[in-house]
Structure 1
Amino acid sequence: MRAHTLGALLCLALTQTPAEAASKQVRIAYVEWADAVVATNILKLALEEKGYEVKTIPLAAAAMWQAVATGDADASVAAWLPVTQGAYYEKLKNRLELIGPNVTGAKIGWAVPASSPLNSIEDLKTKAGDVGGQVIGIDPGAGIMKSSEAAIKAYGLPVKLVDGSDATMTSALKDAVRQKKDIVVTAWTPHWMFARYELKYLADPKKAFGEDESVNTLARKGLKEDMPEVYAILQKFKLSVKDEEAVMAANEERGAKPAETAAKWIANNRATVDGWIK
């Protein structure tokens, strides 16, 4: 029996050329934001169902776009447009392919607890002291941080934008909510914090954060010709804000593993996934 199995494996190895083996490998770049982790893991499992070997590559936003543009990654489903990552798109749009939105109704801005007396960014002109004169931010250089700096200038606000990470921002939010204190944080939808806490966006009458965003799928040049099946799946891959936020919240539970929460979502949304891959 063993000899028969070994022979079959050797036969397969001899009949499958290196090019054919490589053609089943897919590299997906993503930013380690909660929404991108969810979408990337769900897509990875869907592609693996079709027999692909999928490598996920966590990168900073600029490096993610560059990886797709250079062909070091085949695709990404974590491109926020038109504002958040718009500068990267303008720089690299001729070197990659924008397939289109996989999540619509996305948004960026500043959020506060729903109980906060603050309702508009303009309120911070006179009430900055209520939040310690701070807006709690994420990674320096992130698109939302650049938009936040622009908002501070546009509204003439006496506040400081505090650098950090998604983790430090949500930790500060958790502490403020627990202590029933007011806080302003950089925020985006989809994000698990909207599933976990009662929050509201501050109105932005000057449109410093732009209109609604979408999260988009990118592909390297030539993917459509090299891997038509993968390209077709990428075209059909779509998630709702509600679905993403639910899986993101599950990922924040103690001991949660993104691959397992993604597998559970796929099991509960079989018809949707079959629509992508069949």
Structure 2
Amino acid sequence: MAKKWVEEHPDAVSKWTKGVDDVDGVEIELVSTPWDSERSSSSVVAEVLKSKGFDVTVTPVDVAVVFKAIANGDGDATLAAWMPVTHKEFYEKYEGQFEDLGENLKGAKIGLAVPKYMDIDSIEDLKPAE
């Protein structure tokens, strides 16, 4: 699926890779969490990097390992950092030991979503019926 997405979105890929030189087999390891959203992001970026000549490995790890792996050089990059709240403690623990290149999912939010038919406005409305 990732390869297909990359093939079908050349304009996006072109923006992402602007100024990135082609290489010949330079190894890069992406560390990721085993969450579907991060599997998808890492797979797409891996395909884009492969198209530039990189030899890409994606290694799924527990979230507690993501920042440590980047900080100590066991991994080269991640797209799995959920900031500023979800991974704040890990970020702060290893801050200064990695390069923060900024957000990759502008406008992404985490939270609770329910179908419209539930007609509620807050989590408090989810109280069980008495």
- The TM tier, using the shorter chain, reads 0.7 to 0.9
More helix by share: 1
Correspondences of 1:111-190 after superposition (within 5 Å): 111-124=113-126, 128-130=127-129
* Structure 2 counterpart of 1:29: 31
Counterpart-to-counterpart distance in 1, 2:59 and 2:72: 14
Correspondences of 1:55-134 after superposition (within 5 Å): 55-124=57-126, 128-130=127-129
CA drift at 1:77: 1.0
TM-score between both structures, scaled by the size of structure 2: 0.75
CA drift at 1:86: 0.9
Poorly superposed stretches of 4+, deviation over 6 Å = none
Could you say which structure has the larger radius of gyration? 1
CA drift at 1:108: 1.3
TM-score between both structures, scaled by the size of structure 1: 0.36
CA drift at 1:123: 2.1
Structure 1 stretches lacking a partner, 5+ long: 1-20, 131-278
More strand by share: 1
Correspondences of 1:188-227 after superposition (within 5 Å): none
Amino acid in the other structure paired with 1:55: T
Counterpart-to-counterpart distance in 1, 2:27 and 2:119: 52
Correspondences of 1:3-22 after superposition (within 5 Å): none
Q: Identify which of structures 1 and 2 has the higher relative contact order when contacts are C-alpha pairs closer than 8 Å and 6+ apart.
A: 1
Amino acid in the other structure paired with 1:102: N
CA drift at 1:122: 2.6
* Structure 1 counterpart of 2:50: 48
CA drift at 1:40: 0.6
Deviations 1:190-245 (A, max 9, x none): xxxxxxxxxxxxxxxxxxxxxxxxxxxxxxxxxxxxxxxxxxxxxxxxxxxxxxxx
Amino acid in the other structure paired with 1:84: T
> What is the Cα-based RMSD across aligned positions, in Å?
1.9
Work out the percentage of aligned pairs sharing the same amino acid: 36
Q: Secondary structure at the match of 1:26?
A: strand
Q: Secondary structure at the match of 2:85?
A: coil
Counterpart-to-counterpart distance in 2, 1:75 and 1:49: 17
Counterpart-to-counterpart distance in 1, 2:54 and 2:47: 9
CA drift at 1:63: 0.7
Structure 2 stretches lacking a partner, 5+ long: 1-23
Counterpart-to-counterpart distance in 1, 2:125 and 2:78: 38
